[in-house]
Structures are given as structure tokens and as C-alpha cells.
Amino acid sequence: MLVLGIESSCDETAAAVVDKNNRILSSVIASQVEVHSRYGGVVPELASRMHVEAITPVVEKAVSRAGISTGDIQGVAATRGPGLIGALLVGFCFAKAFAWGRGLPLAGVNHLEAHIHSLFLADPDLKFPFTALVVSGGHTNIYHVSADNRFELMGQTRDDAAGEAFDKVSKMLDLGYPGGPVIEQMAKTCDPGQIRFPRSLLEKDSFDFSFSGLKSAVGRYIHENPVKSRADKARVAAAFQAAVIDVLCEKLLRAARHRSCRQIGVSGGVSANQTFVATLTRRAARKNIQVIAPPLSLCGDNAAMVAARGAVMIRDGCTCGPEDDVFSRALHQQPEG
């Protein structure tokens, strides 16, 4: 089965064609980051307008790069949420028209489940159950994934997402948006041990995260020790990044141990951070746990992961009808207690 995937939940308009063996025939991403970076973050109204402009050419490019014609497509998958409503509506309505005009099934994909599914594109041998982290600008969620459609939320951030913390600290250091890549580069130039920022691990048995205290600690440090040079900024960047990585690794390893998982998968924009992936891989290896991370092209928002997740939903008869709409907030609930 050939599935066309469409992603428009935030600031990337993306389309991809994936076959039934999770082979990516094409993956096209039109990023809006240059426009939003002028404002220091994503401007929802601008994002919607740019999706409208980009969606048709991006889909056309994905179909032609796959070496197929639109008549070969057998199913359509589009991100339904969570994300920016106006942005989601552009891709989801396009997908509805595209699918139903051709009598094709449409899967309304949860963006977070799509990020988790990118792990199967990275490693076809990934086996259930595994521990999964979705770590991006909007989410820091740990899941226990026990089967194709079973995503159990074990923990999430109580305030800022990890990527959001990278973006805010980058702003404080005047390093621009998005913050993750530039902080990672700066951090490479210096020893992270020169400043020690707090690690918030919350309650002993909790898999939740909190990054706002760390963000405030960085703010206080900068207030008391003005960063004048690039080297000053690098010291703060490295110490901040080390604190985030430490907490992410600690919680993930605890979650994997709690559910006896031998594999941990990380996905989402922050998993593009090679220092994070390398540190986690090293720490996990000591506990005989394997770490899977998607290639860089699949860490950030893309439509290949949406198509791949959608293919499973279509196979299992989990498709959308005309009454189904987009949603802005995550639908996964953490179990009580």
C-alpha cells in the first residue's frame, strides 16, 4: 500500500510517500523557520498562511519525487493534532479533499504517535514493548509502547517542554530561534562542568519533568554574571544542556527499568541533539539497554512518520469520517495515582 502523509501542525509543511514496508519513497519539508525566527518564535497566523501557500506544491513534489502518479496512492494520512489549530486545519482539510475526492481512506494521525513511529523508520527491528520519549518544542512525554496502537503515557512535563527551555535560554543568551541547534554547537566548545545548574527530578517515583526551575536558574545566573563574550555564552549553554540531558537520561532509564524494557526510543526535535543521544546511549549500555534514535531528517517534524503511522491505522480500520476534526491538545491521559 502506498500512503501519502501530510504534516502541518506547527511551522513545517511536509508531505511524503511511504510504502507498506515503511520504505520512504519521498519526503518533502518546507520549513517556515526563517520567517518565524524574526519574531523569536512561531506566529500562528503566519504559520497558517504559509501552510496554505505551500501545501499544494509540497504534495505535488512528494508525489513526483516518489516516481508515482496521484492515481497510485491508496491511502492518505494527515496530522490531526496536537498542534496549532489554524495550521492543522490546512493540512487536514487538504487531506480530506484529496482522499475523499478519490474514494481513499483517511487516517487522522496523532502527531506524538507519529514521532514515536519514526523509530520504526529508523529501526525496522524495533520490538514491543519499548520505552519512548517524544521531546520537542511542545512536549516532553515518556510512553510505554506495548503494541501498535497502545501508547501509555508514563510521564510528561509539568511546565516547559525541553525544546521550549532550549529556545528560551537561547533567547536569554541572544542566540536566536530555534535555540536547540545553536546551543548544542556552542556547548561543544566548552566543558559543561564550569557552572552547575539544578536538576529537577521531582518525586522519586514520578516520570514527570519540570524545566521551568532550570530556566529561572539560568536567568538568575545571567543576571548576576552578565555574559559578555562568546565564551561566557558557551559556558552557560554547555551547563544548561548538561542539566537537561542529565534529567532526560535519568527519567528515561528509570522508566525503562520500571517496565523492564530493553529498548528506549527517542524522537522529536530535541532528539536531533547528538550530545543527548550519545550520552543516553552510553548510560543505557551500562544497563544493557539499547537506544534507538531516528536519523536527523526524521527527528524534526516530517510527513514520512505521519504516513507510516497512518498506514498502520488504515490497516487496522482506524479511519476518519466527515465529522472528525483537528484537535489542539494531546489526547493521551496519564493513569491516575
Interaction of residue 82 with ligand KG4, rule CB under 6 A: no
Name which of 26 and 271 has its Cβ closer to Zn ion: 271
Verify binding: residue 263, Zn ion, rule CB under 5 A: no
Shortest Å, Cβ 137 to ligand KG4? 3
Q: Which of residues 120-139 bind ligand KG4 (CB under 6 A)?
A: 136-138
Measured distance CA(225)–CA(219) in Å, rounded: 10
User: Are 116 and 145 in contact, with CB atoms under 8 Å apart?
Assistant: yes
Can you give 278-326 as a three-state secondary structure string?
Answer: HHHHHHHHCCCCEEECCCHHHHCCCCHHHHHHHHHHHHCCCCCCCCCCC
Report the nearest approach of Zn ion to the CB of residue 209 (Å): 17
Quote the least distance from Cβ 146 to ligand KG4, whole Å. Answer: 24
Angle between helices 179-187 and 274-285 (to 10 degrees): 70
180 binds, among ligand KG4, Zn ion, none (CB under 5 to 8 A by kind): ligand KG4
As a whole number of angstroms, the distance between CA 107 and CA 120 comes to 18
Name the grid cell of 36. Answer: 518565524
For ligand KG4, the binding residue among 91, 105, 300, 310 (CB under 6 A) is: 300
Q: Is 8 in the site for Zn ion (CB under 5 A)?
A: no
- Measured between alpha carbons, how far is 166 from 211 in angstroms, rounded to an integer? 10
To the nearest whole angstrom, how small is the minimum distance from the Cβ of residue 2 to Zn ion?
A: 24
Whether the CB-CB separation of 306 and 79 falls below 8 Å is answered with yes
Task: Report if residue 192 touches ligand KG4, rule: CB under 6 A.
Answer: no
DSSP 270: G
Is the peptide bond between 82 and the residue preceding it cis, with omega within 30 degrees of 0?
Answer: yes
Residue 272 beta carbon to Zn ion: minimum distance, rounded to whole angstroms:
11
Cβ neighbours of 11 (radius 10 Å): 28
Q: Does 164 bind Zn ion (CB under 5 A)?
A: no
Q: Which of 75, 81, 163, 294 contacts ligand KG4 by CB under 6 A?
A: 163
Adjacency order of strands within the sheet including 24-31 = 24-31, 12-18, 3-7, 75-81, 106-110
Contact present, 306 and 78 (Cβ < 8 Å): yes
Three-class DSSP category at 127: coil
Among 129, 180, 192, 294, binds ligand KG4 (CB under 6 A): 180
| Residue among 99 and 272 whose Cβ is closer to ligand KG4 | 272
Piece of the chain touching Zn ion by CB under 5 A; list 37-45, 46-54, 134-142, 153-161: 134-142
From 136-144, 179-187, 211-219, 242-250, give the range in contact with Zn ion by CB under 5 A: 136-144
Amino acid at 18: V
Build a one-symbol-per-residue string for 223-262: x at contacts with ligand KG4 by CB under 6 A, - elsewhere: ----------------------------------------
Among Zn ion, ligand KG4, none, the one that 81 touches (CB under a kind-dependent 5 to 8 A) is: none
Rounded to a whole number of angstroms, the minimum distance from the CB of residue 155 to ligand KG4 is 18
Q: How long, in residues, is the chain?
A: 337
Which three cell numbers, joined as nine digits, stand for 68?
A: 508515482
In three-state secondary structure terms, 79 is strand
Q: Pick the stretch among 128-136, 150-158, 201-209, 323-331 that binds Zn ion (CB under 5 A).
A: 128-136
Applying CB under 5 A, the residues found at the interface with Zn ion are: 136, 301
Applying CB under 6 A, the residues found at the interface with ligand KG4 are: 10, 136-138, 163-164, 166-167, 178-181, 184, 268-270, 272-273, 300-301
